[in-house]
Each structure stands twice: as structure tokens, then as C-alpha cells.
Amino acid sequence: MSLLEVKDIVKEYRLPGQAAIRVLDGVSFAVEAGEHVAVVGRSGAGKTTLLNILGGLDKPTLGDVLLDGQPFFSGRGAAGRRVKLRATKIGFVFQSYHLLPELDIVENVMLPTMTGFAGLPDGERPRVRACELLAKVGLGERLHHLPAELSGGEQQRVALARALMCRPEIILADEPTGNLDALTGGEILKLLFEVNETPVACVMVTHAAEAAARCDRTLRLDRGKLV
């Protein structure tokens, strides 16, 4: 059984009095444990919509996503199950970082443990885990800084540490190097694939050929279909 199974995903948007707009049209693929997959395609191809569905942030019109064999959208208790899976098994890295400006970077990294759904093994302290991750991404000397006091590359390092906080099985990354220069983006990709203690699967939406080339496999979306 694959870690992530995407089964015949269709996503349509409907406006009153207008025909449905189909953004995703029967998308199916699987991701194995530890595998890195890039999703590429022109703007408007449906890449971010697909990523949001993989993370349970959006619902498909048809189809389902299974993580560790557990369905996101079908079956009894799907909504609660989806929330728990998202909190415990998925890490998110966004192009715009999405750090809370009023919290220092240690507190930002600790946020996934504050949801009530995710936690750490007994005896492991969240603040210690957060500080260790920040040290691994090169920010061990800046623990008490606010996001506004960091560069874009440093903020993305914080976002990566936050994504790894609860030891996810898969990371979903939406243009993680999109706001960064080539050198900084390369450093972020290296960290994304190497900083965790054990191999973590990754699905990464990207426009950057260099980023896609670092993945094990590339999927191309065109007008909502995999080609």
C-alpha cells in the first residue's frame, strides 16, 4: 500500500447561472513512503488546488485521497479523521511562509503541537524540539527573533522547521522557493530533503525546473489533467 493514494480527483467551481468550471479532471497517482514528487504546470493548471485537496484544506467534487489507507473525504467521521491526519501526518510549507508576526520563531515552530490534535512522544518537550529543529536549519542563534526581523530565506527555514515539528510522514510544499533567489532557494531545497531525522515523503508544487530536478519523479498538470 502506498503512503498517499490520490483517486480520480475532480474539482469543479460553480457560479450561479454559469456552467461549472472544472479545475481538476480525474487526477490519480500514488506517492510512496520517502518519495519526493514534483508537480509542475503552467499557472492555472490546478497545481495549488490539487495540493490543498491532498492536505485536506479543500474538498474535491469527486474522488478521494487516502493517507496510510485512511480516506480523507469518504466514510463515517471523515471530517474529524481529516483534521487528525492533517495535524499528525502532514507538514505544510507555503510560498508566503504564513508565520504569525507576534510570536517569536520558537513559538511559531511549536504551533502544530498547540492544536490539540498533534503532539510529541511522551517526555519530549515541544520547546526543546523546536529549538533543535531551528538549530538544524541554521537559526540556533536567532531563537528569540520575530519573523519581521528575518530575511525571506530565514523565514522559510522557520516554516520548514514548523512543518517537521510533529514528525510528519509527508510534506506538502507550495512553491517553497518561489519568493527566494536561486542560491537561497537551493539551500531551502537541500534542507527540505535532508534535515529530517528519517526520510519524509514530499509533494512539491513548483515552477522551478531546478527544484523539480531534485525530486524522484515529476508529474505535469495541464488543464486539470495529468499528462
Dist. CA 73–CA 19, nearest whole Å: 25
Domains belonging to the chain, first-starting first, are 34-59+90-226 (3.40.50.300)
Residue ranges with strand state E in the chain: 4-13, 21-31, 36-40, 62-67, 70-71, 90-93, 170-174, 201-205, 217-222, 225-226
pLDDT given for residue 193 in this prediction: 84
- Measured distance CA(157)–CA(58) in Å, rounded: 26
The helix/strand/coil state of 34 is: coil
pLDDT of residue 70: 95
pTM for the full predicted model: 0.90
CA distance 162 to 156: 10
CA distances from 19 to 2, 36, 69, 221 (A): 36, 36, 35, 22
Q: Which residues of the chain have pLDDT under 50?
A: none
How high does pLDDT run on average in the chain? Answer: 90
**CB count in 10 Å sphere of residue 114:** 11
- pLDDT tens-digit profile of 88-146? 899 999 888 899 999 999 999 999 888 766 666 666 788 999 999 999 999 999 999 99
Q: What pLDDT, on a 0 to 100 scale, did the predictor assign at position 191?
A: 84
Q: For residue 117, what pLDDT is reported? A: 61
